[in-house]
Structure 1
Amino acid sequence: MSKAFTKESDTDSDDDDGGAALPPLPAGSKNYMTPAGYARLRTELLDLMDNERPKVVEAVHWAAKNGDRSENGDYLYGKKRLREIDRRIRFLTKRLEVAEVTDPSVHHGRDQVFFGATVRYADESGDEREVTILGIDEANSAESQVSWISPIARALLKAREGDVVKLATPGGVHDVEVLAVRYPAPASGADSR
């Protein structure tokens, strides 16, 4: 059989959305995102479409003219990279289409935990931590950011400073006390509630 009619690997899939590391959205929920997170994803999407993809297409086109494609590393790598870019473009397009942009600065000055809050809390042993509750596609645990669907965020949402909430973990249910809640200041010209 000709190589033209075979898959390059069993793990390749055109249906793959390129977001395997990101959890799916909970059924019936919205894809909440801050304006900054939306802007980052949109910038990435536009860069992929306007810069990265055309460069790779050009490289693949050049490599294809160099003869036997089955042993042409530039061609094979370029095609693989092109599939990765296309999957990421599809993923970003889908996620941005259903994004519900929510500006956390509207809650500036409040002591109740909503989406976009930075919360300082203490566990039962007195250890203090601080997390910012963000969207699924923008949270980065290395920067103490958690997704709004994470167990700690679910426990903290709607709580107020001083409240003790129950956090369900694989090790059991633990009490967590909300010590402080803060939101980014509104941009100039916007009013806070």
Structure 2
Amino acid sequence: MSDARSPEFAPAISKFLSSLPGNERKAAQQALYHFARWFGLNHRLDALTPPEIANYVERLSQSDADYSSKLEQVRAFLVYAKKEGWRRDNLSVHLRTKKVKARAVSSGAHARRKEITVSREGYQGILAELEALKCRQLEVIDEIRRAAADKDFRENAPLEAAREEHGRITGRIRELEEALKLARVVEGNSGAGKKADVGSTLRLKSLDSGEEMVCTIVGPREVDPARGRISSSSPVGKALMGHERGDTIEVVTPGGRHRYQVIGLEA
């Protein structure tokens, strides 16, 4: 559902937030930037697909007790995107909450602190991003201080922009620090008989078309389809876990059943 005018997430969200009353903007900001970071701030709205939306809802419902209210903020943004002509379809219809999962998450703190599986590379990536954000946070605090020196707060765009950025950075820092607390680093195994796990790179051959593909199994926070990095909790990731070179697997996706053979494995 592409549109030539469709912007990237960052400017689209900024425009949407500017359309909200001040008392609503702060509440929407954190939810929307969390949504955008999931796909990438430079990701174009016209590239977003319904399955990606559904996957986001599922992951959020498993990790956030307050996910329903966050989805309402995302829903309002997607409706706005349709009205602005950035999308020809209304992606908000795919934000279906799951009541059973919502009750499970809200039943106790243990559900909100579910262990996160990450590769060694992914763990180092979190550390690097956290360090960069903390440095940027100090810079933004200085920008706020300098912008606040202008006593006319009514039309102080630099001050408002710096405050919004500080809010985004602070929220992201909290997310990353929580992720580090919950992270379980999977190093992978080696030698004959090694099995696919988080961090493994596999070469697969489709038994339907004969085509070959390479993918790496990663934790949900490290997914990057453009680089062949698939989530360990996705249908393909789940099907691959624990298999060895030479094994044949069957994957059930919304598009049907697919059969693959593992012809290469680097754990």
Q: Where on the TM-score scale, by shorter chain, does this alignment land: which range?
A: 0.7 to 0.9
Runs of 4+ residues deviating >6 angstroms: none
Q: Aligned Cα RMSD in Å? A: 2.4
More strand by share: 1
Deviation of 1:110 after TM superposition, in Å, equals 3.6
1:30 is the counterpart of 2:45 = no
Specify the alignment match of 2:196 in structure 1: 113
TM-score, normalised relative to structure 1: 0.80
Q: Is this contact kept in 2: 1:108–1:182, CA < 8 A?
A: no
Instruction: Say which SS state the counterpart of residue 150 (structure 2) adopts.
Output: coil
> Is the 1:33–1:134 contact (alpha carbons within 8 Å) kept by the matching residues of 2?
yes
User: What residue in structure 2 maps to residue 9 of structure 1?
Assistant: 25
- Corresponding position: 1:86 with 2:170: yes
Give the TM-score, by structure 2 length: 0.60
2:127 to 38, 42, 46: 42
Distance 1:159 1:39 in 2: 26
- Which of 1 and 2 has higher RCO (CA within 8 Å, sep 6+)? 1
The answer as to whether partners of 2:29 and 2:168 remain within 8 angstroms in 1 is: no
If you compute each CA radius of gyration, which structure gives the higher value, 1 or 2?
1
What percent of counterpart residues are identical? 26
Deviation at 1:97, TM superposition (A): 1.1
Contact 1:17 1:87 in 2 (8 A): no
Matched, 1:166 2:182: no
Contact in 2 for aligned 1:48/1:89 (Cα 8 Å)? yes
Q: How many residues align?
A: 176
Cα distance change, pair 13–77 in 1 and its aligned pair in 2 (3 A): closer
| 1:9-158 alignment, distance < 5 Å | 9=25, 12-13=28-29, 16=31, 18-20=33-35, 21-22=37-38, 23=56, 24=59, 26=62, 30-49=115-134, 51-104=135-188, 106-123=189-206, 124-158=208-242
Alpha-carbon offset, residue 129 of structure 1: 0.4
Residue 145 to residue 181, structure 1, CA distance change in 2 (3 Å) = same
Q: Is the 8 A contact 1:70 1:76 kept in 2?
A: no
User: Partner letter of residue 25 of structure 2?
Assistant: S
> Which runs of 5 or more residues in structure 1 are unaligned?
184-193
